[in-house]
């Protein structure tokens, strides 16, 4: 007997007011606002506040939210000591997952009401980039850069990572990247967070689960693989043959295609332009190579399947991060830096949804397709006699 809807594809498991994806028309909506409008007019701080508060904030609300983000930027001394004791060869996502779960032991708030979880959300959004930046400095035997009180969320991370204050353009480009990655409905990591939250586990446990889900190469690691691809290709002239060779072996071209979008991913549309601007700024070839990858893949896939394939969010984010001098293996942690806002919004919604004052524990049903030995089950055979049966 075969199960249907493997991976819960197209199964509606909950209501949400946080975001919506229109895969047919290529739309991504945060709390009713089009992502293409937000990246033109908003900031990451305002977008995160929107996700947590159900609507765009007033100036007073946004100022209070931003001030809290800045005020909680420092990580506990014990957490910093833990980071220093981790092997420097550790995977950054493993480091992030373990330290996020450890944040629970430093939380002195005893209640689990909405306001407390709102404060925890701000704490996580603020501290996750600090953890990532500190870890990168520690593993490279560099002094930790103390967080700035004057830089915005995006600018402070780049400053703590590199030791140099980013210029206005670089800071704004990274700010837009964070907006684009902040939320994407019930993807694997968000569903993991909500499933854990449904057990009444604390927010840190739920976010730690989300980080774990994001660490998988089928979810959060794709833009790292895209950059490896671009480095392997090396030049625009080599793109066409490289793509043809991969497709001839039925291998996937990273950054192309999406499980939900059947047209252009709106985030990729924005990131393409950001990558172009950074290429002009830095003189690096990665935008040109990426653009050619997109073109050749589309041309070749039409020959094979007679159907269109479009770039996803990973294709151009890889080159954008690389040209911002961000280490390749931090691409997925940066995803977490941004998505912390969406995760925490979903956790709060899961815990306190008005439509479900007593939300149910997630408990999907599986279809058993294992060994069947009759109504009473298989007969237990003692271990001494089992060898004789083989």
Residues annotated as catalytic are 258, 314
Identify the CA nearest to 182 among candidates 17, 340, 15.
Answer: 340
Neighbouring-strand partners of residue 20? 29
Identify the CA nearest to 44 among candidates 173, 150, 161.
Answer: 173
Q: Distance (Å, rounded) from C-alpha 17 to C-alpha 32?
A: 8
Phi, then psi, of 20 in degrees rounded to 5: -140, 145
- For strand 19-22 and strand 27-30, is the pairing parallel, antiparallel, or unpaired? antiparallel
User: What angle do helix axes 239-248 and 222-233 make, rounded to 10 degrees?
Assistant: 120
Number of H helices, E strands in the chain: 17, 3
Under DSSP, is residue 186 helix (H, G, I), strand (E, B) or coil?
Answer: coil
Neighbouring-strand partners of residue 34? 29
Under DSSP, is residue 85 helix (H, G, I), strand (E, B) or coil?
Answer: helix
- Provide the CB-side half-sphere exposure for 206 (13 A, CA): 30
Contact predicate 191/206, CB 8 Å: no
User: What angle do helix axes 114-139 and 153-162 make, rounded to 10 degrees?
Assistant: 30
Q: How far is CA 89 from CA 52, 77, 84, 101, 162, in A?
A: 35, 22, 12, 20, 19
Identify the CA nearest to 217 among candidates 375, 331, 347.
Answer: 331
Phi, then psi, of 27 in degrees rounded to 5: -120, 140
């Amino acid at each position: 007997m075969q199960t249907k809807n493997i991976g819960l594809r197209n199964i509606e498991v909950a209501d949400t007011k946080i975001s919506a994806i229109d895969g047919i028309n290529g739309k991504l909506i945060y709390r009713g606002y089009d992502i293409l409008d937000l990246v033109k007019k908003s900031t990451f701080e305002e977008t995160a506040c929107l996700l947590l508060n159900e609507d765009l904030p007033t100036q007073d609300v946004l100022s209070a939210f931003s001030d809290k983000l800045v005020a909680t930027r420092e990580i506990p001394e014990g957490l910093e000591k833990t980071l220093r004791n981790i092997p420097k060869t550790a995977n950054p996502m493993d480091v992030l997952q373990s330290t996020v779960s450890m944040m629970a032991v430093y939380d002195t708030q005893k209640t689990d009401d909405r306001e407390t979880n709102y404060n925890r959300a701000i704490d996580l959004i603020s501290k996750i980039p600090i953890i990532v930046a500190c870890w990168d400095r520690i593993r490279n035997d560099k002094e930790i850069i103390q967080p700035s009180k004057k830089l915005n969320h995006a600018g402070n991370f780049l400053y703590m990572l590199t030791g140099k204050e980013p210029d206005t353009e670089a800071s704004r480009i990274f700010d837009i990247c964070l907006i684009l990655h902040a939320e994407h409905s019930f993807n694997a990591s968000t569903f993991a967070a909500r499933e854990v939250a449904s057990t009444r586990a604390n927010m840190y446990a739920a976010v730690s689960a989300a980080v774990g889900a994001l660490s998988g190469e089928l979810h959060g690691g794709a833009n790292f693989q895209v950059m490896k691809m671009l480095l392997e290709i090396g030049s625009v002239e080599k793109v066409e043959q490289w793509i043809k060779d991969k497709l001839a072996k039925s291998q996937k071209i990273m950054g192309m295609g999406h499980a939900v979008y059947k047209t252009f991913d709106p985030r990729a549309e924005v990131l393409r332009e950001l990558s172009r601007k950074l290429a002009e700024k830095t003189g690096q070839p990665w935008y040109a190579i990426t653009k050619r990858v997109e073109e050749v893949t589309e041309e070749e896939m039409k020959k094979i399947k007679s159907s269109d394939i479009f770039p996803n969010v990973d294709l151009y984010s890889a080159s954008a991060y690389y040209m911002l001098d961000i280490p390749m293996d931090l691409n997925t942690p940066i995803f977490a830096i941004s998505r912390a806002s969406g995760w925490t919004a979903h956790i709060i919604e899961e815990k306190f949804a008005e439509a479900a004052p007593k939300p149910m524990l997630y408990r999907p049903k599986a279809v058993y397709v294992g060994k069947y030995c009759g109504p009473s089950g298989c007969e237990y055979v003692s271990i001494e006699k089992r060898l004789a049966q083989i």
